[in-house]
Structure 1
Amino acid sequence: MGRRKDDPAVQKAKGFPGRREKQTEAALKAQAASPTAEEQLLASMDIAGLRPPDRFARKEFKEERDVWMAIAPRLKQTLRASAEFQAPLVAYCDAVARYNRSVLALRREGYVVKVKTVSGDEMPRTNPNEKIRAQALNEILALSGRFGFTPSDNFALLIDQRRVLERGAGGGQGDLGLYDPPAPGETPAGATDPVGGMDRFDSPPPGSLPN
């Protein structure tokens, strides 16, 4: 079995052994031009211009990344995926991941922990992770309402979407240019019927309690 060739950067650092300077420089240029693994991962998570932050490509953000990939495609299906939604969606992913981590910590450590007092004694106290869990849950519920992840909020958003689409199609209050007017009883080509798409949201939102 032959010896494994050094990485081009290592070859350059060694002074181009074997007189392969041109080949090594060409390989370095090719490496610089090709996307990194993190860049490829982020590109695969780009949903209709809705792109996660760079940190989501790191291994310690796998939970946040999983929530993103469960949510973003569903937002695209109901015409809610666009770049301006990045910040609240990132906050939702962070909150779900934080919630799950705090629940796991509570199961591992218990809801009540003993802490030392000034006198050196121990007193029972509520685990700090309970406060983190409660705060994360409040954030999840608030953002769920914004995105329509609860049944009632989802229905209200879909109704509002239909009204906007109908105004755009009919031009009654200014042509929004969302799509061309459909024939009677016909769904516009390339458009998603938001109310008819409610069955895509019949499952609970991601970020369920860990087992």
Structure 2
Amino acid sequence: MGRRKDDPHLQAAKGFPGRRKKQVEAEIAAAVTSAEEPTLTPHELPSFFSHAPAHWKVAIALWNDLVAVLRASGRWRPGYRTALARYCALTQKWTEAMEQLRRDLPKGGVTVKVTKGDGNEVFRTHPSVEYMQKVGVELRLMEQEFGFTPRADMDMTRVETFNAAQGRLPLHGGGPRNPNEGRTPDGDEGGDDPLSLMSDADSRPPGARPN
């Protein structure tokens, strides 16, 4: 069995015995670059989903759908991965709790018969109901953040449209607004300015004399 090659860092510490200095330094640089490269693209599944795809089947399907929606609307950012993954995971657990409730109460209802320590039987709310209520609050808050409800989507669209008209932010992921876009030959702002729309509507009443 041949002698094993020392680690490049160790060889550098020893003064590069028996090897070219540039070759060892190149190996060290390659190792650093490899360690710094991200293992996931911004749109890939989080690792805890991809490591157990069978368990997170519902969450993964939801993730793929929502990422496509957010990218199409220009609202997706790589930094949203953790928050969106949490939303998808909680949605799956909420769905599982609802399915457990259906299995335990096939005829409907939300209460189950429980035998107490003294032998008496009482009816209590199924544990899945309480869990769904708690998780539902967080899911609704996250839906507002991402614009996953009709009203939240409308509010976000209104803000995005106004910002795009003011040249502040691109609408739907588009490029920066042309500063000359919408200007008249005289240099005045054109019709995409909400304030100019209000001014245009303020016309002179019939029969009025010009100033």
TM-score of the superposition, structure 1-length normalised?
A: 0.56
State the distance in 1 between where 2:155 and 2:168 align. Answer: 20
Matches of 1:136 and 1:53, distance apart in 2: 21
- The whole-number CA distance in structure 2 between the counterparts of 1:155 and 1:126 is 37
1:145-202 residue CA offsets vs partner (Å, 9 max, x unmatched): 11111111101111212233333369xxxxxx942417449xxxxxxxxxxxxxxxxx
2: CA distance between counterparts of 1:168 and 1:178?
10
Identify the residue that residue 97 of structure 1 maps to in structure 2.
92
1:114, distance to aligned residue in structure 2 (A) = 2.1
1:179 aligned onto 2:176: yes
The structure having more radius of gyration, on CA atoms, is 2
Q: Shift of residue 61 of structure 1?
A: 0.8
CA shift, 1:103, in A, is 0.9
Per the TM alignment, residue 135 of structure 1 is displaced from its structure 2 partner at its CA by 1.7
Q: Is the 8 A contact 1:64 1:94 kept in 2?
A: yes
1:147/1:127 CA distance change after superposition, 3 Å: same
Do structure 1's residue 61 and structure 2's residue 56 form an aligned pair? yes
Matched residue, 1:208 = none
Alignment check: 8 A CA contact 1:64 1:97 kept: yes
Match of 2:45 among 36, 52, 60: 52
Is 1:150 the counterpart of 2:149 in the alignment?
yes
Structure 2: how far apart are the matches of 1:76 and 1:119? 58
Give me the whole-angstrom Cα distance separating, in 2, the residues matched to 1:162 and 1:84. Answer: 23
Unaligned runs of 5+ in 1: 1-41, 171-176, 186-211
**CA-to-aligned-CA distance 1:116-135 (integer Å, 9 cap, x gap):** 21212322111101111112
SS at match of 2:118: coil
CA contact (8 A) 2:164 2:177 kept: no
- Structure 1 residues 108 and 163, CA gap change in structure 2 (3 angstroms): same
Structure 1 distance, partners of 2:144, 2:104, is: 32
Q: C-alpha distance in 1, partners of 2:142/2:73?
A: 17
Aligned counterpart, 2:102: 107
Q: What does residue 202 of structure 2 align with? A: none
Aligned length: 134
Paired with 1:163 and 1:124, the residues of 2 have a C-alpha distance of 54
Taking structure 2 as the reference length, what is the TM-score of the superposition? 0.56
Contact 1:51 1:83 in 2 (8 A): no
Whether the 8 Å contact between 1:72 and 1:81 is mirrored in structure 2 is yes
Q: Gapped runs of 5+ residues in structure 2?
A: 1-38, 184-211
* Deviation, structure 1 residue 95: 2.1
Checking the alignment, whether the CA contact within 8 Å between 1:165 and 1:178 is kept in structure 2 is: no
Give the alignment's Cα RMSD to 1 decimal.
2.6
Q: Corresponding residue for 2:66?
A: 71
SS of the aligned residue for 1:81 comes to coil
Runs in 1 of length 4+ with deviation above 4 angstroms?
182-185
Amino acid at match of 1:84: G
Deviation of residue 96 (structure 1)? 1.3
